[in-house]
Chains A and B, each alone.
Chain A
Amino acid sequence: MSIAFDPFVITLAKFLIEAILVYFLLMHGIYFLLIILGAWEQKKYHQGIHFGEFKRISESSLTLPISIVISAYNEEKMIIDTVLNSLSLRYPQFEVIVVNDGSEDTTLGLLIERFKMFPAEHVYSKRLQTKPVHNVYRSEEYSNLLVVDKDNGRRADANNAGVEHARYPIICQIDADCVLEEDALLRMIRPFLDDQYVVAATGMIRPSNGLIVHDGKIISRGLPKNWLPMFQYVEYLRAFQWARAGLSKLNSMLCMSGAYTLVRKDIFLKVGGANLNAVVDDFELTVSIHRYIQNHKELGPLRIAYVPDPGCYSEVPETWKALNSQRNFWQRAILQSLIWNRDMMFNPRYRMVGMFGVPFFFIFEVLSALVEGLTILLAPFAYFVGLASLTDIALFFIFGVVLGVVVSVSAVLLQEFSRYRQDKTSSLIRLLMTGFFEQFGYHQFHTYSRIMGIYDLLIKGKIAYGYRVRTGYLSPLDNIKIKDRV
C-alpha cells in the first residue's frame, strides 16, 4: 500500500530516515565508548587508593574542613535520618547546615525537637542574594549543627543561604533525601588534597530505594523492590558509574549532581552562587564553573573531578507520575542551561567543554527525545508512501531496542568486573533483566517525559518542579516484615 506524495517530501523522508539511523548509531557508539572510558577511569581510581589512605586523610591536620549544606523543603519523612547520617560521618572537621526552605510541613519542628535546637546569633558575610532568613538555630547536642530557617525560594536560594552561613573552605551540597556512606567525605576530599587545581568534585549516586537505614546509619544495601526504581537503578549505573566518569576523563562532565557535590567556597561565590533563575541549579552551576575555569586560564589547569565511588544514595521516584515530573524537570534544566550557554557550543575558547561537552549534551541528551519522537511519527509515513515495508520498520525498531539493551546490559556487566560486583547472583539476574526490559515501555515513557519537558520550557516557560512524593527509607522493622511475609 502506498500513497502518492510530492517527490521532495519523499526525498526528505528518505534523508531523515538515513540521518536517524546514523544518529542512533553514533549516539549509542559514543555512549558505549564513554562506558568503556568510565570503566578505565574507575580502575585507575581504585589503583590509586593506597593501603590506609582514608585513615591517613582522616588523621591529617591538613585535611580541609567541610561545610555540609542540606536544603530541605517539606522533608519531614527523611530529614531526621539525613541529618543524623551527616552528623555520623567519619571526617576530622565538618559542620552540618540544614536550610529549611520555608517548609509547610513539620520539617523545622522535627529538627528543633530532635536536636534540641535553640535560636542563636550567627554573623555572616552577605554576598549572595537570598530570600529573608528568619532565624538561625544551634543545637544543644551537636555543636557542629546549624539550622537556617528562611522563606521559600527553591533549592538554589536555599543552597546560597547555606553557603553564606558556612565557615569552611569546602562546601558539600546534599539533598534532604540523601544518605551518605560513613567515609563519603574522605573519599570526596581526596582529589582536592591530591591536586591543588581541583575546584569541585562530584561523586557517584545510587538509588536509596531498597536501602535500610536506622538512626541515620546504613544497615544494608539491597536493590529496590519495585520495577520502576529498578529501571532507574540501571539508568543511574549507566549514567553515573560509567558515562559520567568517561565524560569527566574528557573534561566534559557538565552535570555535577546537586545531591552530592563538593565545591570550593571561593569558586562558588566567584561564579555568583547557585543561579536562582535556573530550573535546576546544579547543571547551571557546573557549566558556570567550567566557564570560569576557561576564562581564568591564568590560574592554572583548574578542573572538576569525578569520584567513581558510590558514596551517596538518593531516593528515586516510585510512581510514574513522580518520574514523569522529575524527568520533565531535568530535561528543562539541561535545555535551559544549554540555551543560556549557547556561546560555548563548538567554541574552541572553551576547549573540550565547548568542542565536545556542550555539543554532546545538546545533540544527544536534549535532541535525542525529539529524534525518537520523530522516528515514531516517520515510521507510519514511510510505510504509507512505500519507503519501507512493515518488516523494515520492525527491523528498525528492533535495531534501536538492541542498541539500547547493549548499552544498558554492558553497564551492568562491567560492574561485575569492578569492585562493586553484586553480592547476590539473584540481584545480578534482576539487573540484567531490568537492562533488557527497560527498552519496553520505560524508555518510551522517559522519552515522552523529556519531549514534554522541552515543550513545557519552550512553550509554557515552566520553571517549577511539579509533583513530588517521598516514601522514606526502609527501616530494619520493614525488613523484618518483608522477611516474615516471604
Chain B
Amino acid sequence: MVIFYNLYANHRQKKIALSREWLKNCIESYLSSNLSAFALEKLILSQRGELVGVLAQMSASVNPEYQARLLAVIPECHCEFVISDELERLNSRHWLNRLNAMSYLPFIAPASITTQPLLRGLKDEYLDVRLAAALSLSKLDDPASIRPILSSLALQGSWPIERLIEIILRFDDRAIPILVQYLSDPLASESGIQVVIAVLGHKRVGSSITVLTQFISHTNLEIRVEDYRALGRMRDARALPMLLGGMLDDQWEVRAVSAKALKYFPKAVVINALRGGLTDQVWWVRFNCASSLGALGINGREALLHSLQSPDRFAREISQMILDRSYTKVDA
C-alpha cells in the first residue's frame, strides 16, 4: 500500500511542480505582453489551486516595481475570486490554513483589502498566526499597524523580543513618530517599550535621544540596558553624558553596555572613564572597557599601555590582549 502511495504521491508532486512552472511562465509571458489577459484568465481557471503559491513565490523574489505589477495580474484577469478564497481561509477552523492565508495575502491583494483582515489576525488565539499577520502587515508597510502589533505581540515571555524588533524594523522611517509617541503612552507595555527603544537605536534616530533619556532610570533593568545600548548606537554627542553616567550605575549590565557604547566617542573624558572601568569587579565590564579603549585609536591604546603597569593582574592582561589585537588590525 505504501509503495502505491509513494507512486501516487510522486506522480502528484511532479504534476504540481509542472503546473506551477507552467503557470509561472504564463504569468511572465503576460507581463511581457506575449499573452492576453483573456488567455491568462482561462489558464488560471484551469490551475486555480496553484495561483496563490506561484504569485507569492514570484513576488518574494523580485523588486517592488515588479511586485506591484504582479499584484495587478489578478484584477486584470478578473480572478478576484482567488482573493475571496484567501479571505475566506482566514476564518478557517484549522490554524494552519489561517496562518497560510495570513502569509500569502500581501502578495495577492492590495493593502486596502488586506490591512483590516490582517489586523484582525493579530487577535488570533494562535501565536504563530498572530506572528504571520504581523509579518504581513510589516510587508504592507503601513505605520498605523505598528501600535496594534505592539499591543498584541509585545507580551512578557511570549518569545524573544528580537523577533518583534525584527518585524518593527521592517517599517520605513514613517514609523519613527509613532514609535516615539508610543514611548510616552502610559498604557504601553514594558516589553513594547523595550522593543521600541531597540528599534530607535537600530534606526539611529538622533531626534529621539531626549525621549530615550527618560528611560535611563527606569525601574525595569532590561529597559535600562536596552536604552543605554540604543543611546550608544546613536553615536551622537548628546548621548555621551548619559553613557558616562551609565559607567557609574549600580547594575553591572548597564556598566557593561555603556562601556561598549563609549567606543564611538574618542574624548579624554571617555578614556578616563574606561580606564576606571578596567578594574571593575565584573569581568564583562572590564572586557568591554578594554575593547572600547582598543577601538578609540592612539589615545585609547596609550591608556592601555599605561594599564600594563597596573597592579591589577587582569587589567594588565586584558590590556596586553587588546593591544596585540589592535596592532594586528593596524598591520593588516
Interface: B248 (CB within 8 A): no
Report the nearest A residue to B139, measured CB to CB.
Answer: A52
Interface: A440 (CB within 8 A): no
Interface: A62 (CB within 8 A): yes
Nearest CB of B to A123, in Å = 4
Contact with B along A409-444 (1 / 0, CB 8 A): 000010011000111110011001000000000000
Interface: B169 (CB within 8 A): yes
Interface: B113 (CB within 8 A): no
Which of A123, A193, A196, A421 sits near B325, CB closer than 8 Å? A123
Interface: A141 (CB within 8 A): no
Whether A48 lies near B169 (C-beta < 8 A) is no
Interface: B100 (CB within 8 A): yes
Interface: B319 (CB within 8 A): no
A122 to B159 alpha-carbon distance, docked (Å): 37
Whether A425 lies near B103 (C-beta < 8 A) is no
Whether B160 lies near A194 (C-beta < 8 A) is yes
User: For chain A, what secondary structure do more than half of its interface residues adopt (helix, strand, loop), or is it mixed?
Assistant: loop
By a CB distance below 8 angstroms, the chain A residues around B289 are: none
Nearest CB of A to B329, in Å = 9
Q: A421-B6, A425-B3 are in contact. Are A62 and B135 (CB under 8 A)?
A: no
Report the nearest A residue to B332, measured CB to CB.
Answer: A120
- Besides A50-B132, A194-B160, 10 more A-B contacts (Cβ < 8 Å) are A51-B60, A56-B166, A62-B166, A120-B332, A125-B321, A193-B160, A417-B5, A422-B6, A424-B10, A425-B6
Nearest CB of A to B89, in Å = 13
Nearest CB of B to A290, in Å = 22
Whether B162 lies near A52 (C-beta < 8 A) is no
A423 to B6 alpha-carbon distance, docked (Å): 8
A422 to B328 alpha-carbon distance, docked (Å): 52
Interface: A391 (CB within 8 A): no
Which of B7, B60, B324 sits near A123, CB closer than 8 Å? B324
A55 to B321 alpha-carbon distance, docked (Å): 38
**What are 13 A-B pairs with beta-carbon distances under 8 A?**
A55-B60, A61-B202, A121-B324, A122-B328, A123-B321, A123-B324, A193-B163, A413-B2, A416-B5, A421-B10, A425-B7, A425-B10, A432-B2
By a CB distance below 8 angstroms, the chain B residues around A422 are: 6
A50 to B128 alpha-carbon distance, docked (Å): 9
Whether A51 lies near B100 (C-beta < 8 A) is yes
CB within 8 Å of A: which of B147-164?
A: 159-160, 162-163
Binding site for B on A (CB under 8 A): 47-48, 50-52, 55-56, 60-62, 120-123, 125, 193-196, 413, 416-417, 421-425, 428-429, 432
Q: A55-B60, A121-B331 are in contact. Are A50 and B99 (CB under 8 A)?
A: yes
Interface: B43 (CB within 8 A): no
Whether A50 lies near B135 (C-beta < 8 A) is yes
A56 to B159 alpha-carbon distance, docked (Å): 17
Which of B2, B99, B159, B160 sits near A428, CB closer than 8 Å? B2
By a CB distance below 8 angstroms, the chain A residues around B165 are: 62
Interface: B96 (CB within 8 A): yes
Interface: B303 (CB within 8 A): no
Interface: B221 (CB within 8 A): no
CB within 8 Å of A: which of B298-332?
A: 321, 324-325, 328, 331-332
CB within 8 Å of A: which of B45-83?
A: 56, 60
By a CB distance below 8 angstroms, the chain B residues around A125 are: 321
Nearest CB of A to B212, in Å = 19
CB within 8 Å of A: which of B185-222?
A: 202
By a CB distance below 8 angstroms, the chain A residues around B56 are: 51
A416 to B5 alpha-carbon distance, docked (Å): 8
By a CB distance below 8 angstroms, the chain B residues around A421 are: 6, 9-10
By a CB distance below 8 angstroms, the chain B residues around A196 are: 160, 162
A-B complex: 4 closest residue pairs judged by Cβ atoms = A51-B103, A123-B325, A196-B160, A123-B324
Interface: B104 (CB within 8 A): yes
Whether B162 lies near A62 (C-beta < 8 A) is yes
By a CB distance below 8 angstroms, the chain B residues around A51 are: 56, 60, 100, 103-104
Report the nearest A residue to B56, measured CB to CB.
Answer: A51
